[in-house]
Amino acid sequence: MSLVALRLPQGVRCAIAVTYDTDMAGGYAPDGICHGRTMPALQAHLLRLCDTAESFGVRLQFFQIGNGLDQEDVAYLREILRRGHAVDSHTYSHMALIGDPETLREELLRTNRLFQERLGRRSTVLRGPGGYQNGLRDHPANQQVILDCGFRWVSCQYDNAMPRREPRYAVEAPAREAPYEYPSGLIEFPLQGYTDRVWFDMVHCVDQAAYDAWRVAHGHQPVEPGWRAPWTHPQALERWIEYNLAVADFVYERRLAWVLCWHPYSHYLHDPENRMLPALLAHCAAKPERVQVGTLRDVVGMVIE
Ligand SMILES: [Zn+2]
């Protein structure tokens, strides 16, 4: 395993890949099953995120579960692509990349076919469902399957220790969790820092019973305007914005690349007025030197071979 060096474009101080997994998350599902058949209210939220990004001249990275491409209407994804954002694979059924290698091969090939048939695109970067402490380091056969299926880049390592550490530990994740190459040649871009799911529904969950009750009764259905998640600490969104701006300051100071991982569904629930994304983009735009905010494909393009 060897670290991978990135070359930032001329005049760019640091880079941020804004990646969203578009899941209908299992953590919000009455039956606990995560799938990719995005409900219309969430499709609208995705397009709203694109509007925000475009107003800053930024393109977003989405990762889509393949079984969502089996449904009749994928116009929202075609629209996202037409507007210049990136959509890549998140497996067919939200299968963990560390699972059975041959099942993984079927999942990835099936999703590749659906990307081609329904979106007319080939996915080149793979996001691993769930995230794994050691990435794919203990799974050489899975690395090979991913390479065989046409991916040279994967993003699946996630540090589960953050909630148990001091706050600064998560802010400094982009320095500690640098991209690296597995012995197979596959290149890993770890998910750096807190995901929104962990932040809002785990670290800032103050009423687990309320969360469980909502999930069973109302999960995977639209919420009313003005609704607030009854399980989440009232300051969670303020702190989330503060935390993410602190990471942006850290990568700016250190000239790093930061791969963050968010979910439209989590922001739909916990940030219904859409404050986080514009706050981050405005913060970066106000820096004296240029911050390149964009897709994971953009950051992959900075790898020095
Ligand atoms: Zn996912």
CA dist 113 and 66 (Å) reads: 9
pTM over 0.95: yes
Q: Give me the count of residues in the chain.
A: 305
Going from the Cα of 55 to the center of ligand 1, the distance in angstroms, rounded, reads 27
Residue in this structure with the two tokens 């996915």, named with its chain if needed: 123
Going from the Cα of 96 to the center of ligand 1, the distance in angstroms, rounded, reads 9
CA dist 123 and 171 (Å) reads: 30
Going from the Cα of 13 to the center of ligand 1, the distance in angstroms, rounded, reads 30
146 CB contacts (<8 Å, ≥6 apart)? 97, 104, 108, 126, 136, 154, 186
Query: What was the pLDDT predicted at 152?
Result: 97
Going from the Cα of 210 to the center of ligand 1, the distance in angstroms, rounded, reads 23
Mean pLDDT for the stretch of residues 243-255: 98
Per-residue pLDDT reduced to its tens digit, 116-150 = 999 999 999 999 999 999 999 999 999 999 999 99
Going from the Cα of 266 to the center of ligand 1, the distance in angstroms, rounded, reads 11
Query: What was the pLDDT predicted at 277?
Result: 98
Per-residue pLDDT reduced to its tens digit, 204-239 = 999 999 999 999 999 999 999 999 999 999 999 999
Residue 117 is encoded by which pair of tokens? 């048939």
CA-based diameter of the chain, in Å?
Answer: 52
Surrounding ion ligand 1 within 5 Å at CB are 21, 23, 129
Going from the Cα of 78 to the center of ligand 1, the distance in angstroms, rounded, reads 20
